[in-house]
Amino acid sequence: MSSRTELHSVLASYLARHPDETARLARVTAALDAHGTSDLAPVTCSAVVVDRDRRILRTAHASTASGLPGAAPQEGDRSLLATALRAVHDQTGIRPGDLCLTPQYLRTPIDIAPGPTAAAPTSGAPVADLRFAFCLARTPSTKAPWQPAVGTALAELGAKASGLDGHPTPLNASALIYNSRGEYLLHLRDMREGIWAPGCWALLGGGHEVADLTPEDTIRRELKEEAGITPHTLEAFLDEEVHDADGLTVPVRIYAALWEGDPAQLPLTEGVMLAWFPPATIPRLRLGGETLDLVQRHSRVVALT
């Protein structure tokens, strides 16, 4: 559920990126402290959806003054970002799977606009509009009312919109680590709620962070952080798509790297263990995602070289 605790966390994340806006949002912070006792965040959540021509989605059904699809949090929303996704679907027909996050902002709003009544929290009106950025993962079936970016909210965002070209970018990266014996290094993930593929064997890898300039930066950081692996060469193998807990499309770049080390000597910081497996054994494991297909496809390529 979209709660006040999450809202304070989102605000802190936003202000960490835009410390010059602390004064501008001071009345929003004050209004939150003075606003009622309901656990639901007293805000609206909007979506800045940008297509590949840098147009921005507007809708006549918007409940926000900006014309962006948006809504107030409801009990069934798992997060503030999920509220924005619900609004996009309800007001335009575009599904979460048609969208993906941007590497510039991920789950942090691109903008927070104070509400007109932020200084009067007892009015019941939202104290702010949180605007989350998305791009299209594919062309949606709905005929949405796109507008050119010039003269719309995207242009008004100025430097915040820098780099938003509407093209989906790999946000996760994984690595097919293999050795000269033809074995593949797999990672047994923790059996914990809230993580992807709990209790399954999968490839090492993880999600993009704002400081990562490229998908290769992401996978090198993840390999070093998770297992202390620093391969000399990484080769991009292919791109694929998965879906996250909100139903958003997550583009993933898969890399391949030859490595001859002993996994028992690695400083594993996440998961249960690492182990080498020949391709013939891997189908007998409990696997996460497309691990088996990726190993089989890569092993066929290696066999041909």
Q: Helices in the chain by DSSP H: which ranges?
A: 4-17, 26-34, 80-92, 153-156, 215-227, 291-304
Q: What domains, with CATH codes, occur in the chain?
A: 4-161 (3.90.79), 172-304 (3.90.79.10)
> pTM of the prediction?
0.85
pLDDT at 305 over 80: no
pLDDT digits (tens, 9 = 90+) for 20-72: 999 989 888 888 777 655 567 789 999 999 988 888 888 876 666 678 999 99
Q: List the one residue out of 150, 114, 149 whose CA is nearest residue 32.
A: 114
pLDDT digits (tens, 9 = 90+) for 76-120: 899 999 999 999 999 989 999 999 999 999 999 999 998 865 445
Angle of CA points 78, 161, 9, to nearest 5°: 35
- Residue 119 is predicted with a pLDDT of 47
Please, how many CA atoms are within 13 Å of residue 168, restricted to the half-sphere of its CB? 22
pLDDT digits (tens, 9 = 90+) for 136-190: 998 887 777 777 766 666 677 778 888 888 899 999 999 999 999 999 999 999 9
3-class secondary structure, 241: strand
Contact 62, 144 (CB under 8 A): no
